[in-house]
Amino acid sequence: MMKKAIIFNIQRYSIHDGGGIRTLIFFKGCPLRCPWCSNPESQSFKPEIIRRESLCIKCSSSSCFACTNTPEQCPTGAIEKVGKEMDVNEVLKEIKKDIIFYDSTGGGVTLSGGEPLSQGEFAIELLEKLKNLGIDTAIETTGFSKWEILDKMSNHLDRILFDLKIMNKEKSIKIINADIDLIKDNFKKLVKKRINIIPRIPLIPKYTMDDENIEAIINFILSQGIKEVHILPYHQYGISKYKSLGKKYILKSLIPPSSEDVERIKEKMTDAGLYVVVGGK
């Protein structure tokens, strides 16, 4: 039986996530619960319904949110099911469509999510097939999984974009539901395996930007001999997605960091000897 995974989007022509023109595979479901998450539709492992008022033509109801139509019945796609079970070959078929563009731009495939590690067996099989086709592979991950899965997966990865969020053990568990010791442990093991790994730090005011946390991150990265880091400033562009999922966005009043704040942290990291990329191209 072919392994299946639940995928919520396959985005072709992604040019800002890793080198070249890439296809992004978004796995649905994540064990973490970061309050600032900009992809709320990626959290649950089950398909969900989203409602987009802007596309609704009010054919059956005065509001998209009150409508009883199923996604199949909705004529405009305003009501849409997010998340689809796909087997490896189905995903592969979509990926292969852009091989010519990967080849000419140094692009490839990036697994994203959600958390691809949570559907590890599928991801490993997919990555293995991609490497057999000579396609460049990368993953965006929280690093939060059993080592065995990450270990196997890393054998087929050219690059790992590895999130480091909250370094304090208690806070990490409390706020984002992740055991930072496990994550750090996985990080170290990957480094030891000489896997190409790029730490990515979300800059979230009140959560990750305090001096203590930033210093802990810098120290950890340096201790692992890593030289490059990507920082991703907080934004609120995911708010509308919360609304369309009928979810509440608890950080509504959180103000995104000013460019001075971002610059300050960039400087701090640069002074410590790191090469810093803002935005993570």
Residue type, 135: I
> What is the greatest pairwise CA distance in the chain?
60
- Min CB(236)–another protein separation in Å: 8
How many other β-carbons are positioned within 10 Å of the β-carbon of residue 117? 24
Tokens of 62: 């005065």
- Min CB(112)–another protein separation in Å: 10
Among 240, 258, 259, 270, binds another protein (CB under 8 A): 240
Q: How far is CA 267 from the centre of its chain?
A: 25
> Is 13 a binder of another protein (CB under 8 A)?
yes
**Cis upstream peptide for 114 (omega within 30°):** yes
> Is 133 a binder of another protein (CB under 8 A)?
no
Who contacts 32 (Cβ-Cβ below 8 Å, separation ≥6)?
Answer: 115, 142, 144, 176, 177, 178
Q: Mark residues 40-69: x for contact with another protein by CB under 8 A, - for none.
A: ------------x-xx-x-x----------
Residue type, 129: K
Q: H or E segment at 152?
A: helix 147-154
> Is 16 a binder of another protein (CB under 8 A)?
yes
# residues contacting another protein (CB under 8 A): 39
Compare residues 69 and 224 and give the one whose CB is closer to another protein: 69
Among 4, 38, 171, 224, binds another protein (CB under 8 A): 38
Chain residues binding another protein by CB under 8 A are: 11-17, 20-21, 38, 52, 54-55, 57, 59, 75-77, 97-98, 100-101, 103-107, 232-233, 235-237, 239-241, 278-281
